[in-house]
Structure 1
Amino acid sequence: MWPSVLVGIVLLGAWEFVTRVLHVEEYILPAPDQVATTLADRWDSTLRSATWVTGTEIVLGFALSVAGGLALGCALHFSAAARRALYPLLIGSQTVPVVVLAPILAIIFGYSITPKLILVALICFFPVVVGTLDGLASVDPELVRMMRTLHGRRVAIFTRVEFPAALPSVFTGLRLAAAYAATGAVFGEYSGASDGLGHVMRQGVPQLQSALVFAAIVLLTAMSVALFAIVNGAERLLVPWHRSPTREGNHR
């Protein structure tokens, strides 16, 4: 962690140095201290409510994607026919640009929270489904065979062997989904919203309020990192036996 913090400090210092030495105008590239000042000055008037709105969209949309992705991934694992029929459609759905979906959803559902939740869920849905399917497919067949030898029912095999063994792969999909969630919320707000960080950015760009735009980006990044950290914490709690080589190296 500390190397990442050090690199971040160096990059911020270089950013501050370049903007000051080259006398870059604030509307082109604000210095880090200008972004911090704007963040503090506009927090009560603008950014606090916008952060709450976008954060709600991210959390609820992510929760929907987790529930739906886990349910569909498990259902496709149980049915080979459904997997052959639906999995290609799932892959094809990822070729549709989010930029195209966002205005369509806004037209259908209006400027409420609904299109934002759908957009976040659609973006986060695929990694969860793929992670679940891959994890369930990679379970050691010897463990399944042993359960069948002990006359274990299909549900017992799934709950006691397959799903616990698939959890590391499931959490890999959840981490990817957590990283994408903020993107879906911002695209949804860009297409139509009266509040939210995406709305703040959309209003700030034509008015050349670059420091405000960067402040919104900082808040979006913080929320994404926080959601990613929560997923990591849940994995440590629910899958304590799993440690990848990379993580083991980082802990030493």
Structure 2
Amino acid sequence: MKRYRSSIIVALLFFAIWQALAMYIDAMYILPSPTAILEKIWELKDILFLVHLPATLLITIEGLLISIVLGVVLAVAMNISERIQRALYPIVIVTQTVPITALAPIFILWFGYGIWSKVLVTVLITFFPITINVYDGLRSTRKDMEEILITYGASKKDIFMKLKFPASLPYFFSALKMAVPLSVVGAAVSEWLGAEAGLGYFSKRMMTQMDGAGVFAPIVILSLAALILVEILNVLENKIVKWRNEV
């Protein structure tokens, strides 16, 4: 609990200022108070947590899994071959220059309002940090360590498994902790542009009804979901990358 004490204090101060400001403005459709948002979440808890949250999490998790596979494969390929790196690296960068709000309607046009149009939006947002970070992790190994292993008769596979792979793990987890919030944002944006369920869809529906608390309620839930997922990653990282804590 001591670890989160400062964050809790800052959060309480932030919400206290927000509550006071909302009471001063006194316009719920512009700036609903935190208490009003919590009341809305409690009022609509069944539909929010049993219908819309699962829909958004499904998009988020599927998009992340695809991004992990795609990002790691691209990173390994670029590390193995300099020719592949020169060919792929600019393309990976260019994919991040295209506005998501421009591509999302195209994906919906191609794949309809089903889940895959939204998963593709999430993948497009999240695979980049995974690819770049894992690639940098694979390149972070010292050349003299590689030369020592080669001297002892290690193959390229041995060098990868015993040196490059362990060195890339901290980079991989850092990439995941960046990708998780991005995946949540990607899922919500894609739902906002076209969906039949999901927290982004619900927020848009509440906006058309000028329900400020209803618009903010899914945002709060999305933020909490991202925080929980990142904390799970922190726990996994501490268990898997034990050697980093011992250095």
| TM-score normalised by L of structure 2 | 0.95
Q: Which of 56, 59, 66 pairs up with 1:57? A: 59
Percent of paired sites with the same residue: 32
Cα distance in structure 2, aligned partners of 1:47 and 1:144? 50
Q: Which of 222, 228, 231 pairs up with 1:229? A: 231
Find the counterpart in structure 2 of residue 134 from structure 1: 136
List aligned pairs for 1:148-227, cutoff 5 A.
Answer: 148-227=150-229
List aligned pairs for 1:45-124, cutoff 5 A.
Answer: 45-124=47-126
Cα distance in structure 1, aligned partners of 2:228 and 2:120? 21
Moved over 4 A (4+): none
Aligned residue pairs, count? 244
List aligned pairs for 1:28-39, cutoff 5 A.
Answer: 28-39=30-41
Cα distance in structure 2, aligned partners of 1:45 and 1:240? 41
Find the counterpart in structure 2 of residue 4 from structure 1: 7
- Aligned CA-pair RMSD: 1.5
Secondary structure (helix, strand or coil) at the match of 1:96 reads coil
Q: 1:232 to 1:99 in 2, by over 3 A?
A: same
Asked whether the 8 Å contact 1:77–1:133 carries over to 2, the reply is yes
Cα distance in structure 2, aligned partners of 1:211 and 1:48? 19
Q: Offset at 1:45?
A: 3.4
Q: 1:48 to 1:23 in 2, by over 3 A?
A: same
Cα distance in structure 1, aligned partners of 2:185 and 2:203? 13
Q: Offset at 1:85?
A: 0.7
Cα distance in structure 2, aligned partners of 1:172 and 1:19? 36
Find the counterpart in structure 1 of residue 16 from structure 2: 13
Structure 2, gaps ≥5 residues long: none
Letter in 1 for 2:55: V
Q: Offset at 1:47?
A: 4.6
Asked whether the 8 Å contact 2:41–2:48 carries over to 1, the reply is no
Asked whether the 8 Å contact 1:39–1:47 carries over to 2, the reply is no
Secondary structure (helix, strand or coil) at the match of 1:242 reads helix
Structure 1, gaps ≥5 residues long: none
Q: Offset at 1:131?
A: 0.5
Secondary structure (helix, strand or coil) at the match of 2:153 reads coil
Q: Offset at 1:48?
A: 2.9
Letter in 1 for 2:189: F
Asked whether the 8 Å contact 2:108–2:194 carries over to 1, the reply is yes
Asked whether the 8 Å contact 1:47–1:197 carries over to 2, the reply is no
Cα distance in structure 2, aligned partners of 1:8 and 1:82? 46
| TM-score normalised by L of structure 1 | 0.93
Letter in 2 for 1:10: L
Q: Offset at 1:83?
A: 0.3
